[in-house]
Structure formats: structure tokens, C-alpha cells
């Protein structure tokens, strides 16, 4: 089964946002927020976009590499935005971008970007086709094209790792 018979949905319907104040519980002894905490927020914000697009349960299948470009300190505001870049069949590439805002100065820095693949599941937990996404803006079309190249790379990596076992 593939998704060609399903009616497409615009990217804007999946767009999601998370905002959280960094608390001491999320930080190391130097007061910097743990990378793992940011990764959890990326997964949650990305999953929300995937769920909004698919309107079905989704699981994280993979996360492409994540860099941390700017430290996040306790008291800073963490802002995440996500949307579905492209649907393949049951899987979707979701882009998540993270910024950190200094509450005292109002300065905002981009700290991370990530691409995640989520897979939609049916009632029995099997992958199920998802409606295609319809890019409308130039940026959305660019991300759609890039997502195709990202997928080619992922499939190669998956194939390589399954061959080396």
C-alpha cells in the first residue's frame, strides 16, 4: 500500500512550537543545560508535528546528527519549532530548529537544528501510509527537495549497517 491515493496536507498544518524555561534539574554542575534534555525536547516537538500531520500515533525511527552551537544556561528560554518536510510513505522527515533566548537581554541565538524520521503506526502497531505533504512556500519546497536527498543518505547508511552485521 502507498500513500498516492491520500489527499495532501499543507506543511502549515503540522507546524508546532515548544517553549520552555531551562530549570536547574535540566543542567550540569556548571549551569549549562544537558544536551540530552535538548534532544528530548527536539523529539517531543518533532513528534508533535508528525502527529499533527498524520493524525495517527508516530514513533521516532531515527535522528540525524545534532550539533549544539550555543550554550543554554539555567534561566534561559528554549524555543523549538518543527514541521513536516516530506512524507515518503509511512515515514516522514520532520525538521526541528532550536533557539535560546536570554530573558534578561532578549538576545536570541540559534543553537541546534535536527532532522528526525517518524513512522506512523496503525492500531496493530504496523507502519501505515500517511497523506503527502504539500509544500507551498519557497522554503518549504527547498526543504522538501533536501529531504529526498537526506532519505537517500539514510537508506544507504541503513543498508551499510545491516550488511556489516
Question: Is residue 90 involved in binding ligand COA (CB under 6 A)?
Answer: yes
Q: Which is nearer to ligand COA, 82 or 91 (CB)?
A: 91
Residue selected from 88, 99, 115, 144 as contacting ligand COA according to rule CB under 6 A? 88
Give CA separation, 63 vs 21, 47, 55, 78, 106, in Å: 24, 12, 21, 20, 30
What string marks each residue from 56 to 75 as x (binds ligand COA by CB under 6 A) or -? Answer: ---xxxx-------------
Tell me the per-residue interface mask from 3 to 42 with ligand COA, x by CB under 6 A, - otherwise. Answer: ----------------------------------------
Determine the Cα–Cα distance for residues 60 and 2; give it in Å rounded to an integer.
Answer: 20
What is the distance, to the nearest Å, from the Cα of residue 160 to the centroid of all Cα atoms in its chain?
24
Beta bridge partners of 99: 79, 110
Ramachandran category for residue 134: left, alpha or beta (phi over 0 → left; psi -120 to 50 → alpha) = beta
In the region spanning residues 93 to 132, those forming contacts with ligand COA, defined by CB under 6 A, are 117, 119, 127
In the complex, which residues of this chain contact ligand COA (CB under 6 A)?
Answer: 59-62, 88-91, 117, 119, 127, 154, 158
Amino acid at each position: 500500500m502507498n500513500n498516492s491515493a491520500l489527499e495532501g496536507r499543507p506543511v502549515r498544518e503540522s507546524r508546532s512550537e515548544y517553549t520552555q524555561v531551562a530549570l536547574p534539574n535540566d543542567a550540569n554542575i556548571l549551569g549549562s543545560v544537558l544536551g540530552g534534555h535538548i534532544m528530548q525536547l527536539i523529539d517531543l516537538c518533532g513528534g508533535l508535528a508528525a502527529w499533527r500531520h498524520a493524525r495517527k500515533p508516530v514513533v521516532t525511527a531515527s535522528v540525524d546528527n545534532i550539533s549544539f552551537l550555543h550554550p543554554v544556561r539555567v534561566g534561559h528560554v528554549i524555543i523549538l519549532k518543527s514541521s513536516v518536510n516530506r512524507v515518503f510513505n509511512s515515514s516522514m522527515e520532520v525538521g526541528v530548529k532550536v533557539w535560546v533566548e536570554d530573558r534578561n537581554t532578549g538576545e536570541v541565538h540559534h543553537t541546534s537544528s535536527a532532522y528526525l524520521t517518524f513512522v506512523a503506526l496503525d492500531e496493530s502497531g504496523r507502519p501505515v501510509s500517511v497523506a503527502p505533504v504539500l509544500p507551498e512556500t519557497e522554503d518549504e519546497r527547498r526543504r522538501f527537495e533536501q529531504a529526498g536527498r537526506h532519505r537517500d543518505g539514510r537508506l544507504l547508511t541503513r543498508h551499510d549497517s545491516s550488511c556489516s552485521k
